[in-house]
């Protein structure tokens, strides 16, 4: 088969979904072919991309969440699609805003999305509506907070034990509060 051109993918999508705007991400260094899709039409676009014999995106390779604090809409979910027969990759993006962002699940389209969406939920708290089993996957079940959000600090967090469980809910101290300790040197 001949190589698939990015323009051809965009053209097929526009033919099939005339009412939906596909915004092609272009920037200084956006190295992959990336399309921004409105969240409400994500699932039907994915079904089409998977089933269309010309495009044939049979595999969903990965899903990544991105937090763009303080921008609004704050969150992005990136879907790395892979067409095995055309050896072509396409990144789909959807945006979600607010404290409780929501994106429709694609686990019905590609079963592999199950764990990827759980991981994104685990790290960012992005809810995938319609997901059959949205639980934490890598963090402990009783973890509080969404560690990969930009307002979640790195470090200086108390280690979790059973005896300090209530304290863990408190936000971690800001970095500025930690003053350098005074060290007294003895005369040699």
The rounded distance, in Å, linking the Cα atoms of 115 and 121 is: 10
C-alpha gyration radius of the chain: 21
Of the pair 17, 115, the CB lying nearest other proteins is at: 115
Which spans of this chain sit near other proteins (rule: CB under 8 A)? Answer: 27-32, 34, 58-62, 64, 66-67, 78, 80, 84, 87, 89, 91, 110-112, 114-116, 119, 123, 136-140, 147-148, 154
Four-point Cα dihedral 31, 152, 98, 76, nearest 10: 10
- Nearest CB to other proteins, comparing residues 32 and 72: 32
Give the 3-state secondary structure of residue 131.
coil
Residue 186 beta carbon to other proteins: minimum distance, rounded to whole angstroms: 34
CB of 130 to other proteins, least distance (A): 18
- Report the alpha-carbon distance of residue 66 to residue 111 in Å, rounded: 22
Token pair of 155 as six digits: 């470090």
Nearer to other proteins, 74 or 116 (CB): 116
Q: How far is the CB of 107 from other proteins (least distance, A)?
A: 11
């Amino acid at each position: 088969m001949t190589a698939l051109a990015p323009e051809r993918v965009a053209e097929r999508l526009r033919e099939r979904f005339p009412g939906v705007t596909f915004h092609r991400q272009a920037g200084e260094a956006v190295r992959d072919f990336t399309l921004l899709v409105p969240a409400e039409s994500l699932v039907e676009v994915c079904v089409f991309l998977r089933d269309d014999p010309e495009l044939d995106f049979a595999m969903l390779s990965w899903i990544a969440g991105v937090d763009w604090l303080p921008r609004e809409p704050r969150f992005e979910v990136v879907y790395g699609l892979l067409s095995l027969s055309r050896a072509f990759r396409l990144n789909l993006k959807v945006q979600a805003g607010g404290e409780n962002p929501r994106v429709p699940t694609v686990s019905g389209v590609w079963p592999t999305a199950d764990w990827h969406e759980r991981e994104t939920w685990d790290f960012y708290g992005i809810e995938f509506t319609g997901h059959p089993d949205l639980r934490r996957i890598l963090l402990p079940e009783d973890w509080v907070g969404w560690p990969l959000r930009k307002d979640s600090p790195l470090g200086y967090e108390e280690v979790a034990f059973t005896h300090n469980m209530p304290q863990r809910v408190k936000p971690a101290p800001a970095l500025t509060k930690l003053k350098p300790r005074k060290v007294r040197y003895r005369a040699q």
